[in-house]
Amino acid sequence: MDAAPAYGVVLAADEAFINAVSYAGGADDMIRVSACVSKSEVSVEVQDGGSGFTYRRSHPRSVPDVRRANGRGVFLIESMMDEVGVRSGRRGTAVRMARRVA
């Protein structure tokens, strides 16, 4: 994978991790990060014990308000990755993101 797309994957994963740390719950909560690299795709999943959020895909032409203190994470992740999915439930939240290679 070329450097520029790799930086995008790292940035998206970092944003998901920061959100997990910020919103998942207490200091004792476990956050799991896993990654998989193949010839065709790089995927990252960030799991936490938090109650999660309702994921709504951003409108492709919308840009978040930069004056707000938060609310740009999903937009940033979607901008860097080809696929984004969120599962939230009683056992926590998982954000899975993937970027095609080549």
Which whole number is the average pLDDT over 5-12? 93
Domains within the chain, CATH numbers bracketed: 3-100 (3.30.565.10)
Tell me how far apart the alpha carbons of residues 62 and 79 are, in angstroms, rounded to a whole number. 11
Per-residue pLDDT band at 95 (split at 50, 70, 90): very high
pLDDT at residue 69 in the model: 63
Q: Which of these, 27, 82, 88, 79, lies nearest to 58 by C-alpha position?
A: 79
pLDDT digits (tens, 9 = 90+) for 28-65: 678 999 999 999 999 999 999 887 777 777 666 667 66
Q: Could you tell me where the beta strands, DSSP code E, fall in the chain?
A: 32-37, 41-48, 83-89, 92-100
pLDDT higher than 70, residue 80: yes
CA distances from 68 to 18, 71, 72, 74, 102 (A): 17, 7, 9, 14, 35
Q: Which two tokens stand for residue 100?
A: 């095609």
Q: Is the pTM of this model over 0.85?
A: no
